[in-house]
Structure 1
Amino acid sequence: MWTRLPSSALRLTGADRVAFVQGQMTNDLRGAPTPGLVACTFLNVRGQIEFFARAYKRAEDVYLHLDAGQAQGLAARLRRYIIFDQVDMQDVTEDLRTVHVWGGQTVPGWDPAGGDAQTFTLGGGTVLAGRVNRTGAAGMDLHYLARQEAGVLAALGGEEAPLAVLDAARVRAGLPDVTRDGFAGTLPQEVGLDVGGPLPAISYRKGCYVGQEIMARLEARGNARYHLARVAGEGLPDHAEVTRAGKVVGQAGLFAAGLSLARLRKELALGETVEVGGVPATVQSLLPAPADA
């Protein structure tokens, strides 16, 4: 089973490509193998998420895979920081397509025991695959040239699942999607992107980057006021404020399968009743679950 992913993408080349991206992103690309893959965010000076990406480190380039509509904005941000760096950047959104292959499907050419990023031939074209969990079980994101889509999908086989089905599995599994859940503008620690979270996208041991001072302060003090939770209800609106007794206590993401992932104040307890956009809901679980749960 596989699902088409609305995507955009940047390709960076040049001698300084890894060092340049390393100095902008929250995770440790330099420490990844070649080829390798890391999830990461790009923050503003207040430590708030501007963009989420999965960065592929390859021998000849760095490939940044983003949600649809994100590449142009990230490219504009990155260009502001290119001064003496030997970096060339290309928006390859129109040239590429991406599908997520759900866990359990065999893909010819993919080595299950191999690295997280692999390149192989499929359907007469060269594809880039990354081990990514979008449903609660490790699957893969498969990137290929748009002009080769018919051959790649024919060779891939399996059944196509709509994006809504993938979203439902993702929300049930407690896996945030910064763009689809509307979590841009929040701190990574508040929406499950911290070390130990459902989608770790931070290294506290790498060098400096925009927003790094805020990240270091949060690591030292552990005082983020919000965390990721799952709320349950009937017909909850997407991307709505979460309130309790008329006070805003968080924000909810995409509603799917009777659930929403939400950025909630830490003082809210499991089982507590809240409202999402005025619709009653219940705090079902905290993500990740407490160690003693």
Structure 2
Amino acid sequence: MNDWIRHLETQGLVRAAENEWHFGEAVSQARVPLSSTAIAPLPQYSIMEIAGPDAERFLQGQTSAQVALADGQFAPLTAFCSPKGRVLANGQLMRVDETRYWLVLDIGVADPLHTHLAKYAPFYKVEITQPATRIFGVLGDDAVAQVEAQLNVTAPDTWAMAQNDAAVILRHPGPIPRFMILAPEDAALSAWEALESLATPVGNAVWRLQDIQAGLAWLGETQRDSYLPQMINWEALGGISFRKGCYTGQEVVARAHFRGQVKKRLLRAQSENATLPAPGTPVHDANGKSQGDVVCAALNADGKAEVLAIITQRDEPRELNIDGVPLERLTLPYAIERVDPESMSLQA
């Protein structure tokens, strides 16, 4: 057992399942007030490093981001696609030094993406690795002040990054301020210890709920190679550059955008049931016909399941349910329209 896990277990960490950690009973965790600060381990994510003299050129041909925008301040969302335009992995790209990039993504797609990119890497001076890092979140009304005081950085804006001597700090959207901290294990443990006397430890499902409420879907292993990036509203979040040149899948992604051929979209909804549907659970209409699938789910403070699901756009509106339990549609916090990352980077 390593020091990171050992220390979290002394604080009451329970590993309910693989990549599902909480501190105490799950419903109680969902009700922890975030009026001050909470800290959450985030084992659902992984880091991939792409480094070498050709790293930028290599990534430019593989990913939906305009890689030059990842400049050490702005950290754009991105997607890696198959030749048919389906998302193999979506994540956030950051430049951590001149020829070294980090990509944060769902842990379930890290190995398959590594295998996919390794097919192209021999043609470039580049090395792809998965560095030994720990990731945790800081969230709550006082998160900005605590990050600045304890990590000695100026808190970045949303989709921007900051660095200190040991860690990378990313800010993500949501109903409350929240930051993702990425660092080697010793540095991550030191940062956690600096914050733990000022914050309440919570489970990673609390962070997942913030993702859901932000309309932010991270595709996992069972969902890879299934959806166009627009189906997870990636262009509305600035995750696709339509101003860059070719990358794998670019033609299909661009055609879907300019011809308006996106047949499925991300839906945010709430179930009256406290039972969490697993990723891939079908969403049905009142006639029992499948209309889409669940991407992720988490309990909210009322003990109800909030979900993101990818749903067909035909025959709107209609009643939807999961296993017979009705879904109440909830509003997404952004408009479904193209947002160019080039314009976002000017604000970072």
Q: Same fold (TM over 0.5)?
A: yes
Consecutive unaligned residues of structure 1, counting only runs of 5 or more, are none
What is the aligned counterpart of 1:85 among 124, 127, 134?
124
Match of 1:16 in 2: 54
Question: How far is the alpha carbon of 1:127 from its aligned partner?
Answer: 1.0
What secondary structure sits across from 1:237 in the alignment?
A: coil
Match of 1:75 in 2: 114
Say whether 1:233 aligns with 2:267. no
What is the aligned counterpart of 1:101 among 88, 113, 138?
138
What is the aligned counterpart of 2:320 among 254, 274, 280?
274
CA distance in 2, matches of 1:202, 1:82: 22
What is the aligned counterpart of 1:63 among 102, 122, 126?
102
Say whether 1:208 aligns with 2:246. yes
Question: How far is the alpha carbon of 1:209 from its aligned partner?
Answer: 0.8
Match of 2:186 in 1: 147
Q: Cα distance 1:187–1:131, how it changes in 2: closer, same or farther (>3 A)? A: same
Moved more, 211-220 or 101-110: 101-110
Say whether 1:127 aligns with 2:161. no
CA distance in 1, matches of 2:259, 2:182: 40
Say whether 1:260 aligns with 2:307. yes
Q: Cα distance 1:113–1:79, how it changes in 2: closer, same or farther (>3 A)? A: closer
Q: Cα distance 1:156–1:268, how it changes in 2: closer, same or farther (>3 A)? A: farther
Alignment of 1:154-173 (within 5 A): 154-157=193-196, 158-173=199-214
What secondary structure sits across from 1:70 in the alignment?
A: helix
What secondary structure sits across from 2:78 in the alignment?
A: strand
Q: 1:257-282: per-residue Cα shift (whole Å, max 9, x none)? A: 33211111223545x32222443323
2:217·2:296 contact (CA, 8 Å) conserved in 1?
A: no
Q: 1:76-96: per-residue Cα shift (whole Å, max 9, x none)? A: 11110124311122221xx21
Q: Which amino acid aligns with 2:283?
A: V
Q: Cα distance 1:289–1:183, how it changes in 2: closer, same or farther (>3 A)? A: farther
Question: How far is the alpha carbon of 1:146 from its aligned partner?
Answer: 0.9
Q: Cα distance 1:34–1:286, how it changes in 2: closer, same or farther (>3 A)? A: closer
Match of 1:118 in 2: 162
Higher relative contact order (CA 8 A, sep 6+): 2
Q: Cα distance 1:290–1:89, how it changes in 2: closer, same or farther (>3 A)? A: closer
Aligned-residue CA RMSD in angstroms? 2.5
Say whether 1:187 aligns with 2:228. yes
Question: How far is the alpha carbon of 1:200 from its aligned partner?
Answer: 3.1
Q: TM-score, normalised by structure 2?
A: 0.73
Q: Cα distance 1:229–1:60, how it changes in 2: closer, same or farther (>3 A)? A: same
Moved more, 16-25 or 68-77: 68-77
Aligned length: 280
What secondary structure sits across from 1:118 in the alignment?
A: strand
Q: 1:88-133: per-residue Cα shift (whole Å, max 9, x none)? A: 22221xx210112225312131213679222114xxxx11112222
CA distance in 1, matches of 2:335, 2:113: 33
What is the aligned counterpart of 1:175 among 203, 211, 216?
216
CA distance in 2, matches of 1:284, 1:268: 18
What secondary structure sits across from 2:123 in the alignment?
A: coil
1:230·1:283 contact (CA, 8 Å) conserved in 2?
A: yes
Q: Cα distance 1:136–1:90, how it changes in 2: closer, same or farther (>3 A)? A: same
What secondary structure sits across from 1:37 in the alignment?
A: coil
Higher helix share: 2
Q: TM-score, normalised by structure 1?
A: 0.85
CA distance in 2, matches of 1:278, 1:180: 26
Match of 1:43 in 2: 81
CA distance in 1, matches of 2:153, 2:122: 39
What secondary structure sits across from 2:67 in the alignment?
A: coil
1:35·1:59 contact (CA, 8 Å) conserved in 2?
A: no
Higher strand share: 1
State percent identity of aligned pairs. 25
